Amino acid sequence: MTGFAAPAARAQGEEASIWAELAQGDLEAMRDLLAENHPGPVDPENSRYGEWLREGFAEASRRAEAAGSLADYERALRYFVNGFRDGHIGLGLAYQPRVYSWPRFLVRRASGGEANIVFHSRIDAIPEGAELESCDGQTVDTLLAERIDPYYFNADIPHTRSRNVPRLFTLDPGDEDRQFRQCAFRIDGETRTIDLEWSRLSARTRTDLFAQIRSDRPKLGIRESGDMVFVGLPSFVQTGSGARAMQSLIDEIAARRDELRGRTVVFDVRGNGGGNSAWGVGVAQALFGAEWVSRINGSFDNSVDWRVSESNIAHLEWVIETVRNDGLEEAAEFFGEARDLMVAAQARGDALARAPATGVAPAGPPPPNPITGRVYFLTDSRCGSACLDFADLMLRLPAVTHIGLPTFADAVYIDNATAPLPSGLARFSYSLKVCRNRVRANNEFYTPEILWPGGPMTDAAITVWIGELALEC
């Protein structure tokens, strides 16, 4: 275990209580941070946040009281966090087990189906491709509902549930009582029940195996294959040297604009969990031009309410300095206006500060379509936050076809700050503002016009697939 060790001075009989104490202390800190700084608890348009802040906290506290291990500590906190159904409320752990336990095989949900397929096995009797039917008499869906869903699954985004199947088969230290004794598989047309033996699995090997069922993340920059140009956008979290690399990419697209408009261009956001939405605006402007981007963005009602607190004002001061150092002066002005609205609202004693819509509705007919080639917008289910803001824009620009997998989804609460929790085991992330009339509803996701046919979304596989799509058009 890295980053934390339970106090050695405690007797073994007292060890369980330290996890209960740590879990309870961190739960109280998360509750207080949300109550003081998040718009949800004071949002007149959403009573659910306040209800879960009370009811979810009460249930999480009961779970914390029974915590006897680090894994129990984590589950108590994740239960509280997950219940908000908000991807912007996050728990970032400062530790990772060095070793897990596993039954020497892993299972994933088959693309586009309900079957659970063995994708890695070190057991001769369980070949890769075998279909898992049950473990200890329970189906995978039943096991997910009991062991995984309360901590990791947002039911508003149903297609993301399948990504959690492998978690059933890699257990944290202290979770030995969750080891399955036997599992039933469909192999060569017949059901076989196999007794399991659990062994150690290093954290690095676990990471490598889990990566096999995720899509690749593209490298930031341009990759060419024949007439296809892939614009890799793995993240919009770009500061310092990353900001310079992102700006260099935008400059390259703009310099090659006339050429690229006649080719097949793929905006590849696999793995992009968000960051600063200003980068997505810059990328779109580089190819489509400022007039088209301004027209689309101007049609959005981007009115928001910022939660007023001393901590949030201080956080915006830091954001202003950060984005200005990265050369995003327009973003710095935006956050400066938000800070000023907060300060004024604080002086009035208001809990929320309204930032009205700033967009200008487009007048007259749209400009001519500048694209003579094809533009594809390639997503996987990790596209969230600022990546979804980019999707809002891209999918309303001319000649753009959405391909790949359905995106992730966001609650209407965005723009995050983070704070360390008292135990030192984790950091907690929460939002500062709520969107009032966003073009996407709460936890609404985008489904591609052309769906990925299945299998890992590797660079090589998508290159072949999109090449075939381009030929069909």
423-446 per-position pLDDT tens digit: 999 999 999 999 999 999 999 999
- Banded pLDDT at 2 (limits 50, 70, 90): very low
Among candidate residues 93, 115, 147, the one where a domain is terminated: 93
CA distance 26 to 407: 31
Mean pLDDT calculated for residue range 108-136: 91
User: Which runs of consecutive H residues, i.e. helices, occur in 289-431?
Assistant: 290-298, 310-325, 329-348, 386-394
In a domain, 2, yes or no: no
* Residue 112 confidence (pLDDT): 66
In a domain, 139, yes or no: yes
CB 176 within 8 A of CB 101: yes
| Range 243-252, long-range pairs (CB < 8 A, 24+ positions) | 243/326, 243/327, 243/328, 245/220, 245/221, 246/220, 246/279, 246/282, 247/282, 247/327, 249/220, 249/221, 249/222, 249/283, 250/279, 250/282, 250/283, 250/285, 250/286, 251/286, 252/222
- Banded pLDDT at 302 (limits 50, 70, 90): confident
Mean pLDDT calculated for residue range 25-49: 96
Residues 278 and 388 in one domain: yes
Residues 279 and 391 in one domain: yes
* Residue 14 confidence (pLDDT): 55
Residues 206 and 252 in one domain: no
* Residue 361 confidence (pLDDT): 67
Residues 283 and 204 in one domain: no
Tokens read off for 347 = 């002086």
Sign of CA pseudo-dihedral 230, 236, 242, 248 = positive
Residues 272 and 389 in one domain: yes
In a domain, 112, yes or no: yes
Looking at 196-327, which runs of residues are DSSP E strands?
199-202, 221-225, 228-232, 264-268, 304-307
Q: Three-state SS for 138? A: strand
Residue 254 scores a pLDDT above 90: yes
In a domain, 5, yes or no: no
Residues 274 and 404 in one domain: yes
Residue numbers of the domain that contains 32: 12-93
Residues 108 and 160 in one domain: yes
- Banded pLDDT at 383 (limits 50, 70, 90): very high
Residues 42 and 173 in one domain: no
Mean pLDDT calculated for residue range 377-400: 96
Global pTM value: 0.86
CATH (domain of 362) = 3.90.226.10
- What pLDDT, in 10s, does the model give residues 5-29? 343 334 444 556 899 999 999 999 9
- What pLDDT, in 10s, does the model give residues 143-166? 999 999 999 999 999 999 988 999
Mean pLDDT calculated for residue range 315-321: 95
Residues 269 and 320 in one domain: no
Let me know the angle formed at the C-alpha of 391 by 389 and 395, rounded to the nearest 5 degrees. 135
Sign of CA pseudo-dihedral 13, 17, 18, 20 = positive
In a domain, 175, yes or no: yes
User: 68: exposed, middle or buried (C-beta count within 10 Å: 0-12, 13-18, 19+)?
Assistant: middle
Residues 267 and 279 in one domain: yes
CATH (domain of 139) = 2.30.42.10
Percent of the chain with pLDDT over 90: 83
In a domain, 272, yes or no: yes
In a domain, 426, yes or no: no
In a domain, 177, yes or no: yes
Tokens 């007292």 sit on residue = 14
CB 96 within 8 A of CB 155: no
Among candidate residues 186, 211, 236, the one where a domain is terminated: 211
Mean pLDDT calculated for residue range 258-262: 97
**What φ, ψ does residue 427 adopt, rounded to 5°?**
-120, 150
Percent of the chain with pLDDT over 70: 96
Which of 390, 396, 403 lies closest to 470, judged by CA?
Answer: 403
Mean pLDDT calculated for residue range 256-268: 97
Tally of structural domains, the chain: 4
Tokens read off for 64 = 């914390």
- Which of 133-142, 194-203, 323-332, 382-391 is least confident? 323-332
Residues 199 and 341 in one domain: no
H helix or E strand, kind and range, residue 183: strand 182-187
Residues 17 and 140 in one domain: no
* Residue 174 confidence (pLDDT): 86
Q: Please, what is the average pLDDT of the chain?
A: 92
User: 188: exposed, middle or buried (C-beta count within 10 Å: 0-12, 13-18, 19+)?
Assistant: exposed
Among candidate residues 211, 236, 254, the one where a domain is terminated: 211
